[in-house]
Amino acid sequence: MTSRITLISPALNRSLREARFDDGSPIDPSGRARAESAAGSLGAADRVLVSPTARCRDTASALGLTAVPQPELAGLDMGRWRGLTLDEVMAREPDGVMAWLTDPDAAPHGGESVRGLCERAAGWLETAATFEGRTLAVVEQELVRALAVTILGAPGPAFWRLDVPPLTATDLSGQSGRWNLRLGRELGAEAL
């Protein structure tokens, strides 16, 4: 049985513009306008899911989707760094930032490590593989990166080498243990 999953990264918001660890802010007006303009390009899906974060829920709404929230699709838990910019954290905890950026097991912020996120993403993917048909999910960029690392069997530090622009689609097709990956297609650029 082949499963098809399309992951949609959220539209721009203040956190993304300011290189701020998610602070729960909604998508901004330009992000909403871009998402609304792409609403007709998504095609049919057998199930539609969304990360519980504000920007993912807002993006799904702007895309015209009625999505079911899934806690497993949440972004990386940044603990006490949540809401701070990378520059602010670097000024306060430079050793912590360096550990976080180089060691996938590090969680100096008291939240989730990159490896922990990758393991959570892998568990979700294994379950998603049992669903026949097409799944559409609006998820944080770091979850897309974690799934890409998992599918490729890449080492944990590869997580930091993947860019996921706002409002792009990443397609997964296959089954548990064997997935194909198509990264970074801009929404509205072609039919999903």
Among the listed residues 63, 45, 64, 68, the one whose alpha carbon sits nearest the alpha carbon of residue 134: 45
Residue 185 is classified by DSSP as E
DSSP three-state, residue 8: strand
Q: What is the DSSP code string of 11-57?
A: PPBHHHHTTB----PPBPHHHHHHHHHHGGGS---SEEEE-SSHHHH
Predicted TM-score of the model (pTM): 0.93
Residues 86-125: tens digit of each pLDDT: 999 999 999 999 999 999 999 999 999 999 999 999 999 9
Q: Do residues 56 and 50 make contact, with C-beta atoms less than 8 angstroms apart? A: yes
DSSP three-state, residue 133: strand
Residues 9-65: tens digit of each pLDDT: 999 998 888 889 988 899 999 999 999 999 988 888 999 999 999 999 999 999 999
At 189, is the pLDDT very low, low, confident or very high (cuts 50, 70, 90)?
low
Q: Do residues 93 and 107 make contact, with C-beta atoms less than 8 angstroms apart? A: no
